[in-house]
Chain A
Amino acid sequence: MTTPIKFYQTGTFTVGNRLLTPEQRSVQSSEERSNALNSGHRACQGCGEALGARYVVDAAMRATHNQLIAANATGCLEVFSTPYPETSWQLPWIHSLFGNAAAVGTGIAAALKVKAQKNGTANNVRVIAQGGDGGTTDIGFGCLSGMFERNDDVLYICYDNEAYMNTGVQRSSATPMGARTATTMAVGAHPGAPAGQGKNLPQIAMAHEIPYVATATVADLRDLEAKVEKAMSIRGARYLHVLVPCPLGWGSASHDTIKLARLARETGLFPVFEAEHGEVTAVTQLRHPVPVQEYLKLQKRFAHLFGPKGDAQMLARIQADADRNIRRFKLLEQEA
C-alpha cells in the first residue's frame, strides 16, 4: 500500500504518478491507455501540441470507452501525425480542411445520431474536433460559432500555440501583444504584435452560452484530463482551449515547454477556468502571481522587449493584462 503523498501539482512532477492513489492517476500512467495518438509521429522535440493532444485524446477515449471519432483541422497536428501512408491515430480520424473541423464534427455527430436511430441502438459514439489557434480563432471561426450556436454534440479542442506555426510562425488572432512573429516583426517603433488586437476565444465561446467551456495548459495534465472527462460527460457543444507552448515558434528551449505553460498560468496571462452555460464556475487559483518578465524572458519572441533598447511600456501593458486577468477571474487565493 502506497502512502498518500500530497503534491502541489499532481501529474506534473510525479513520475508517471504511480505513487498516487489509482483514482488520482493520469490516464497516461495506465497500461490500459488507448495510445490513440501513437508515438513515431514527426512533431518537434518539446512540442506542446503533441503532448496536449495525446492527453486529451486518451482521456476522451477512456471517458467514452473508446467509442470516439476525431475530426482534425489542417495544421501541425495533422501534418506531423499523418504523413501518408503512415498514421499515428489509433481511432477513426478525418482531416478535411483548415477551416472546417467543427462542421465536419457536426456532420459526423449527425450521421451517428441517425445511424443509432436506424439500428435502434444507443448513440454511444462521441465526436471531438480539434485544431490549432489559426484553424480555430481565424479561418475556422465561422464553422465553430455555427457548431456552438446549434449546440451540436461535439467537443472542440483548440491547441493554442499563439501563431501559425505550421506555415512558419505567422501571427494569428491568438498571438499575444508584443510577440514577434514572421508577420509581426521585431522592428520599427512598435515591434512585435500590436496591442489591443486579437480574440479571446474562450470568452467568445462562453458568450454562445454552450454547456461547457474550459481552459487548460500542458503544465497541469491531470487538470487537462479531468476537464476532458467532464466535457465528455456532457452532451452538446463544448469547447476546450489548451495552451501548448511551441519551442520553434516561441524561440524557447525544448525542455521548457511545461515550465512555460505553468508560467503562463502563474503570471495570470493565461487564466485557467471552467464555465458552464456562459458563467465561470471554477478557476485554478494562484499562490503567488509571477511577474510576466519571468515568463517572457524564456522566449526569443519577446527578446526585443528586454535589454538596453527594451520596451518598458509594452512590458507594463503585458503586466497590466495579466493583472486584469487576475482580477477578472479572481485568480488569487483568498486568505482563510
Chain B
Amino acid sequence: MRKQVEGSAAVAEAVALARPEVICAYPISPQTHIVEGLGERVKSGSLTPCEFINVESEFAAMSVAIGSSAAGARTYTATASQGLLFMAEAVYNASGLGLPIVMTVANRAIGAPINIWNDHSDSMSQRDCGWLQLFAETNQEALDLHIQAFKIAEELSMPVMVCMDGFILTHAYEGVDMPTQAEVDAFLPPYEPRQVLDPAEPVSIGAMVGPEAFMEVRYLAHAKQTMALERIPQIAAEFKQRFGRDSGGLVRPYRTEDAETIVVALGSVLGTIQDAVDEMRAAGVKIGVLGIQSFRPFPLAAVRAALQGAKRVVVLEKSFSVGLGGVVSTDVRLALSGLQLHGYTVVAGLGGRAISKASLVRTFTEATSDSLQSLTFMDLDWRIVNRQLEREAATRRSGPIAENLLRDVGSIASKVT
C-alpha cells in the first residue's frame, strides 16, 4: 500500500512488520521518531507480544539487546552519533557473540563541536566492529532494508546496522510502498536462534578466550562477513521477487557501462549525484555513479568489476579520517589495487553542509580534466580556515576554534571593547 509518511515512520512500520520481541531505546536526534513510533505501537497493543524498554543510556540499550537476543528474542534498537560511540563497547560485543540484533543508525556527525546534522562519521567509526552495515539511499530502501536486515542477521547469526541519513531521510516525507504483514511474514520466518540461554540446555556464552583460539574466532567473524557477501544479493533478489522492488544488494551502478569517470558514494546523496551525472551526460561527459549499499562486508570484487573500465574514480564521502583523508576511499583503493586509475577523494557535507548539484557538477568537471586535488573538501570556506590558521600561528592562545570561525563569518557578535 502506498503511503505518504516520514522516513522514521516508514522505518518504525517496517520494524513492526518484522515482529520484534524486544525493543530497547534511548532518545538521540535524529533517531527519536523511529523508537517513538515503535513505543506507541507496543503501548497501544498493536505490536504484541513485544517488550519496549526505556533505558538510561545507549550503552544500556545495546546491553539489553545483547541479553534479549541471547535469550532468543528478535531484538531491535536504534541510535545515532554520540549514542553509537557511547555504546561502542557493547556494539563490538554483540558481533563477537554472534547475536543477530538489528539496529538503525540515523547517521549524524560526531562532536566536538556538537552538531546534530547528517554525515556518516558515526557508523564509519564502527566499520571494523563486525556488524554488517547497509546504507539506504531512499526511505523506500530504508524500509525494505530493515525487513531484509532481520533475515540476513538471523540466517548468519550476526548483527546488522541499517544506516540512513539523519534528517535527510529520517525527517523527510516521501511516498513509500508499505508491504502487508502477510507479505513480510512469508518472507521473514520466526527467529530461530543458533545458541540460546535455556535452562533445558545450559550453555556458557562469552567465556574468556586466550591466545590459543582468539585469532581463529576473529577469522571466523571475517569468514561470516564473506558469507554475507553472497547472501545479501540473494536475499535482495528474493525480496525483489516477492515485493517487486529492487532495494538491497551490494552495489548499485548507474550509467557506468561506458563511463570514463565514476563517482562512488553511499546514502541519500546518490540521488543528487545521479542528477548531476545526468546533466553532465547530456553535455556529453562520460560519467557514471556507483552506489555502495553494503559497506560491511565491503564488496571488493563487485566494486572492482564496476570500476575497472573507467579512467578515474571520484569517491564522494560524508566522513573523514582525520590525518589521512577519506574512509571509503581507502576501501575503494584496495578494490582497485593494481589498476592504473586516477583516484580522487572528495569530502563533502560534513555536519549537514548542503551538497548542491552545482557544486557536484563543478567538482566532477574538475575531476574529468584531472585538475582536482586528490583530497578535496567540497565547498570548504578557505577564507575562514586560513584566517584561523594565521591566528593560531600568531597567537599562542587563539581561543576556541568554532567560536572564532563563527565570528569570522559574522554569525556571532564580536566582543565590544
Contact = CB atoms under 8 A, between A and B. Distances in A.
Contact of B69 (A85, A97, A107, A150): A107
Given A79-B208, A97-B89, A100-B90, A110 B199 contact: no
B51 A96 contact: no
A46 B311 CA distance: 71
A79 B204 CA distance: 13
Contacts of B68: 107-108, 110-111
Given A111-B21, A114-B21, A103 B63 contact: yes
A79 B207 CA distance: 8
Contacts, number: 165
Interface in B69-98: 69-73, 75, 89-90, 93, 97
B65 interface: yes
Contacts of A106: 53, 55, 60, 63-64, 67
Given A104-B66, A106-B67, A150 B207 contact: no
Interface string A84-96: 1111011111111
A317 B110 CA distance: 48
A69 B199 contact: yes
B73 A115 contact: yes
A78 B66 contact: no
B67 A87 contact: no
Interface of B: 21-22, 24, 48-51, 53-57, 59-60, 63-73, 75, 89-90, 93, 97, 197-199, 201-210, 213
B197 A108 contact: yes
Contact of A149 (B56, B59, B65, B198): B56
A207 to B, nearest CB: 16
B67 A90 contact: no
B93 A103 contact: no
Given A82-B208, A91-B199, A107 B75 contact: yes
Interface string A57-97: 00000000011110110000011001111110111111111
B53, B65, B93, most chain A CB atoms within 10 A: B53
A108 B56 contact: no
A99 B59 contact: yes
Given A95-B204, A106-B64, A146-B60, 4 more contacts: A66-B199, A111-B70, A111-B72, A142-B56
A72, A100, A107, A146, most chain B CB atoms within 10 A: A107
Interface in A104-148: 104-115, 117-118, 125, 142-143, 145-146
Contact of B210 (A71, A78, A84): A84
B206 A95 contact: yes
A67 B199 contact: yes
Contact of B73 (A69, A95, A114, A145): A114
Interface string A15-36: 0000000000000000000000
B97 A96 contact: yes
Nearest to B65: A107
Contact of A105 (B48, B67, B202): B67
Contacts of A66: 199
B64 A107 contact: yes
Contacts of A95: 204-208
A78 B204 CA distance: 11
Given A91-B199, A106-B53, A83 B206 contact: no
Nearest to B53: A110
Contacts of A85: 207, 213
Contacts of B70: 94, 104, 107-108, 111
A72, A79, A106, A110, most chain B CB atoms within 10 A: A110
Interface residues on A, range: 35 or more
B282 to A, nearest CB: 54
B51 A94 contact: no
B49 A96 contact: no
25 contacts: A67-B199, A69-B71, A84-B209, A85-B213, A91-B199, A92-B203, A95-B205, A96-B97, A96-B206, A100-B63, A100-B66, A103-B55, A104-B63, A104-B66, A106-B60, A107-B65, A111-B51, A114-B49, A115-B72, A115-B73, A117-B48, A117-B49, A143-B57, A143-B59, A143-B60
Contacts of A87: 204, 207
A118 B71 CA distance: 14
Nearest to B96: A96
B207 A83 contact: yes
Given A96-B93, A103-B67, A118 B49 contact: yes
A207 B195 CA distance: 38
Nearest to A143: B60
B68 to A, nearest CB: 4
Nearest to B204: A87
The 5 closest A-B pairs by CB, nearest first: A107-B67, A103-B63, A100-B63, A111-B73, A111-B71
Contact of A104 (B21, B57, B64, B207): B64
A108 B54 CA distance: 15
Contacts of B21: 111, 114-115, 118
Given A71-B67, A85-B207, A103-B63, A92 B197 contact: yes
B207 A108 contact: no
Contacts of A79: 208
A96 B204 CA distance: 11
B205 to A, nearest CB: 4
A96 B71 CA distance: 13
B63 A96 contact: yes
Contact of B207 (A82, A115, A125, A146): A82
B64 A142 contact: no
A97 B71 contact: no
Contacts of B59: 99-100, 103, 142-143
